Amino acid sequence: MAKALGKGLAALIRNYNPDQDNYIPIKSIMPNPNQPRKKFSTQHMEELIKSISEKGIIQPLAVRQINNNQYELISGERRLRAATHLNLKTVPVHIMTINDNIDSIELALIENIQRVDLNPVEEAEAYAILIDKYNLTQLEISKKVSKSRSEIANKIRLIKLPAIIQDSIKNNKLHYGHARALLSIEGSSKILNTYRSIIDKKLSVRQTEILVKSFKIQKKHKSISSKKYTKQSVWLKKYLNANVKIINAKNNKIIIEFSNDKELESIINKIINE
């Protein structure tokens, strides 16, 4: 089956023949529990409903038989919803012979990617199911959906982002490019603060990338500064018996930490040599 992937759903069905399609009751079709698409564009659905009401369902749904009177949907979720909305009693289907759930989710994922792009988070969740539940590797997935392994890996990382950011991606408030930039930031609080800046200031992907790059430059400068004065820091810590930080950035400064008034008095006395 893997050789046929990436060529459209018809290529996945051996000896496919439109004349062999059947009409079965809508009530006999169960949704695919592994359906990767969670959100459906209202505009696209309205257009599809109008098209089906005028011309009918041109391309049959793909299903697999569960028992004598029950079928599981493999592809055609939008067509099934549109038919239900129009109160159709039956729909044309092609019954596929599939022996396990992994084939089912592979076909559902591939069909959705090829027809109307899943949002990046839905795509990531589908890949995660293939990995966690069906033990596929990223390389195996990349071959099956005709995408690079690095792209699969980058998409899966989206699941690590805070829920509010994932929801923004799903609702098209945040672009995939924004999300990739956010993933390179360390610390959840900084990620959330940057996300709020993107939303509040309506930053473009390019502006976000520049902002995130500035964080890395600042971090690098701080690292260089701390190494530059290592000997001095060690000497001051030993002499003052306190934690000392020497910062060489925009504002050169020495930070001396103390726990209580007694420690402060001791530090001051040492500084003025008393």
Digit-coded pLDDT (tens) for 65-79: 888 889 988 888 889
Give the integer Cα–Cα distance in Å for 150 and 155. Answer: 9
pLDDT tens per residue, range 139-150: 988 888 888 999
Count up the domains in the chain and report the number.
Answer: 3
Within a domain: 173 = yes
Structure confidence at residue 15 (pLDDT): 39
**Residue 136 domain-assigned (yes or no):** no
Catalytic status, residue 77: yes
Give CA–CA dist 13/10, Å, rounded: 5
264 within some domain: yes
- DSSP annotation string for 95-126: EE---SHHHHHHHHHHHHHHHSPPPHHHHHHH
Report if residue 152 sits inside a domain.
no
Whether residue 6 sits in one domain with residue 112? yes
Q: Are residues 266 and 195 in the same domain?
A: no
| Cα angle 61, 64, 155; round to 5 | 75
For residue 45, give the CATH number of its domain.
Answer: 3.90.1530.10
Residues 50 and 103 in one domain: yes
Asked whether residue 189 is assigned to any structural domain, the reply reads: yes
Encoded amino acid at 4, one letter: A
pTM value is 0.56
pLDDT tens digit string along 229-252? 677 778 888 888 888 877 765 567
**Lowest mean pLDDT across 14-23, 191-200, 238-247:** 14-23
Which residues have CB under 8 Å from 268's CB, separation 6+? none
Amino acid making up residue 268: I
Provide the domain limits for residue 93.
2-116
Residue 74 lies in a domain: yes
Asked whether the beta carbons of 178 and 208 are under 8 A apart, the reply is: yes
Question: Residue 22: beta bridge partners?
Answer: 93
Catalytic hit among 46, 47, 54, 77: 77
